[in-house]
Amino acid sequence: HERLVIDMMLSLQKDPSEVKKAAEAVIAHRDTFAAEEVDDEG
């Protein structure tokens, strides 16, 4: 997960639009992970 953040920081220096896409991917990944945790408890 930390690697995604590092990639995002490096992308920020190159292309802001790439950062937006990376941020959305991180958020989507986090939401999916949270949903899976809830399923495990159910």
Encode pLDDT of 12-23 as tens digits.
777 778 778 888
Q: Alpha-carbon distance 16 to 22, whole Å?
A: 10
**15 in the Ramachandran plot: left (φ > 0), alpha (ψ -120 to 50) or beta?**
beta
Is pLDDT above 70 for 42? no
Positive or negative, the CA dihedral 12, 14, 17, 23 is negative
- Mean local confidence (pLDDT), 32-40: 74
Q: Which band of pLDDT confidence, cut at 50, 70 and 90, is reported for residue 2?
A: confident
Return the residue matching tokens 């590092």. 6
**Residue-level pLDDT at 7:** 80
Give the number of C-alpha atoms closer than 13 A to the C-alpha of residue 38, restricted to the C-beta side.
6
Q: Alpha-carbon distance 1 to 8, whole Å?
A: 11
Output 30 or 38, whichever has higher pLDDT: 30
Query: Model-level pTM greater than 0.85?
Result: no
